[in-house]
Amino acid sequence: MLRRCFIFTLALIIAFGGVQIEAAGLITDTMTDLSREAQHYYNTCLAFANMTISRPDEATYLISHMTQSGRSVNIHLYLTEWGTWNLGDMRLSDGISEKVVIGGGTDWEYVFRVYNPITDTLDFVGGNHGSEALNSIEFREGVTGEAFTLNVGESRYVARLVIEENTTIKITNTDYLDFANVTRLYTIVGDTVNLDCRVAFTRDVKLAQSFSAMACINKDFSRYCNFEGIAFSKCEPYGSFSNKKYGNVAASVCTLNGDDPSATVTVGIYNEKDMTDNFSNKDKTFIWDMSAEFNKLYFSKYDMTVLNTVRTGTEWNFAAYWKVNVL
């Protein structure tokens, strides 16, 4: 079924996009731009799964999907103290115990390190770092397009969950120095979270080290990382850490596994140009052995070697996905 949908999607893109390619060009070790676009379209517009979304309390949504293995993938969305809704833990449950696979105590979404002209410092803003205001949020059943709301204690079935969140990012500790409007479009289907972001700059700003997608992954599922064909030496096991960084390679897809054989993790991006400037900075894609419990994967937009001026009217389009492969 997946293969048929994929081929159908490719046919649509070729037919309506006016793209001419040789068939042999699709069969490569890495994704072509066309096949990446087709995968993105399938994951966000065609895929569906049996899911339930519930609201256990005012500050949490829970999206649950029962896999064929009999274990459920549970995804949390939580309310931050500054008012935005961010991705939280992605957990794997067998009905008796639950284990965090991707942690929500730090960013999945973007983060920007912006120059603050008031304090003459560089500060992280956006995502889990605050200085971001909620403008609106809407939940939709992605297959039918129906918008809905949930009160605390309520739940409902969804086949494809779409969450559209609109925010404004500010320079740290200022009420008036807005510099970008962001539209986040989350599409959650079963074991996969997709995120499309449009970042529209409304003020000239200077940015240093910034990241367009991240994943804080339990060491039991991330001691080994394959950077699109390039593997790195294993990180420290759960319970210890080295504080080392591995990778710094031009990889748009990373597959991670560890000592727990129940699942692997795949994290990828679709738009290398906007998300990494085609891997032009030295950090590129890397993983950091950040604590005794987690490794953190980063897709780098800018590094710390230079301040990059982004002009008013600039627009970036980010597209990333996180997938728990239950074995």
pLDDT at 147 exceeding the cut of 80: yes
Cα torsion angle, 292, 75, 83, 202, sign: positive
H helices within the chain, ranges in order?
2-17, 33-41, 272-276
What tokens does 141 get? 């059943």
Q: Taking Cα atoms as reference points, which of 308, 290, 306, 309 lies closest to residue 298?
A: 290
The CA distances from residue 22 to 17, 26, 163, in Å, are 15, 8, 37
pLDDT at 79 exceeding the cut of 80: yes
For the segment 278-324, what is each residue's pLDDT rounded down to a tens digit?
A: 999 999 999 999 999 999 999 999 999 999 999 999 999 999 999 99
Q: At 285, which amino acid appears?
A: T
Return the bridge partners of 111, or none. Answer: 211
pLDDT at 15 exceeding the cut of 70: no
Q: Residue ranges of the domains in the chain? A: 1-46, 47-326
Rg (CA), the chain: 20
CA 310 to the chain's CA centroid: 23
For the segment 130-145, what is each residue's pLDDT rounded down to a tens digit?
A: 889 999 999 999 999 9
For the segment 254-277, what is each residue's pLDDT rounded down to a tens digit?
A: 999 999 999 999 999 999 999 999
Question: Span 107-132, mean pLDDT?
Answer: 92
What is the reported pTM?
0.89
pLDDT at 248 exceeding the cut of 60: yes
Place of tokens 């069969």: 27
Q: Using a pLDDT cut of 70, give the percent of the chain over it.
A: 89
Q: What is the pLDDT of residue 174?
A: 64
The CATH topology of domain 47-326 is Beta-galactosidase; Chain A, domain 5 (2.70.98)
Task: Indicate the SS3 state at residue 137.
Answer: strand
